[in-house]
């Protein structure tokens, strides 16, 4: 029992030795740097700013128009797709808003598990997906089709939601 107290006391003593103040030879409080010399300051200019409503309309480029692909055209020119080719993280665009869409091979209902992050509207209910022929079908939690997409480029899928809203996936 006495050995346990001695060991505990030594442990406390060792811990407290780590709290000692040390000084570094070149950083003692007696050392002080010489004051900095003042630097010249250029004069201040004054004037009127131009009216922002009268600014040149060509000064900034116009906001690009959102490009949407007609689902009928996407279906007609659809490329072959496999589940392995579509796995992973995608940027989903729906109603001009972009969010993240994730597709995995984990079994969920009659398809594979999927989900979204940062989406609004219909895409928030996406829970699973499956490849049916040349289309990728996104399903809600009840297993109802939420959107149908077709591969239109190597890293792009275009289609529409069940309500007819255009939706695209890209990466």
Q: What domain range is 114 assigned to?
A: 71-170
pLDDT score of 51: 65
131, part of any domain: yes
pLDDT score of 64: 47
165, part of any domain: yes
| Least confident stretch, 57-61, 82-86, 124-128, 135-139 | 57-61
53, part of any domain: no
118, part of any domain: yes
Question: For all residues of the chain together, what is the average pLDDT?
Answer: 79
Burial class of residue 91, CB neighbours in 10 A (0-12, 13-18, 19+): middle
Query: Does residue 120 or residue 12 have the better pLDDT?
Result: 120
153, part of any domain: yes
114, part of any domain: yes
Query: Does residue 4 or residue 18 have the better pLDDT?
Result: 4
Instruction: Give me the number of domains the chain comprises.
Output: 1
Say if residue 80's pLDDT is above 90.
no
9, part of any domain: no
88, part of any domain: yes
Q: Which residues of 46-79 are buried (b: 16+ CB within 10 A; e: fewer)?
A: eeeeeeeeeeeeeeeeeeeeeeebebeebbeebe
Q: What tens digit of pLDDT does each residue of 99-117 get?
A: 999 999 998 877 899 999 9
Which domain CATH number covers 111?
2.40.128.10
pLDDT score of 10: 66
pLDDT band at 40 (very low <50, low <70, confident <90, very high): confident
């Amino acid at each position: 029992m006495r050995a346990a107290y001695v060991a505990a006391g030594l442990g406390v003593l060792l811990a407290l030795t780590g709290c000692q103040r040390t000084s570094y030879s070149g950083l003692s409080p007696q050392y002080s740097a010489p004051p900095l010399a003042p630097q010249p300051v250029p004069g201040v200019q004054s004037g009127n700013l131009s009216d922002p409503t009268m600014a040149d309309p060509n000064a900034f480029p116009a906001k690009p128009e959102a490009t949407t692909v007609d689902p009928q055209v996407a279906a007609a020119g659809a490329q072959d797709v496999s589940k392995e080719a579509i796995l992973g993280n995608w940027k989903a665009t729906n109603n001009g808003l972009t969010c993240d869409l994730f597709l995995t091979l984990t079994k969920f209902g009659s398809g594979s598990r999927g989900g979204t992050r940062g989406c609004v509207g219909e895409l928030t209910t996406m829970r699973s997906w499956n490849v049916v022929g040349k289309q990728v079908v996104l399903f809600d939690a009840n297993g109802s089709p939420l959107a149908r997409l077709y591969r239109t480029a190597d890293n792009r899928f275009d289609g529409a939601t069940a309500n007819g809203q255009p939706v695209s996936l890209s990466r």
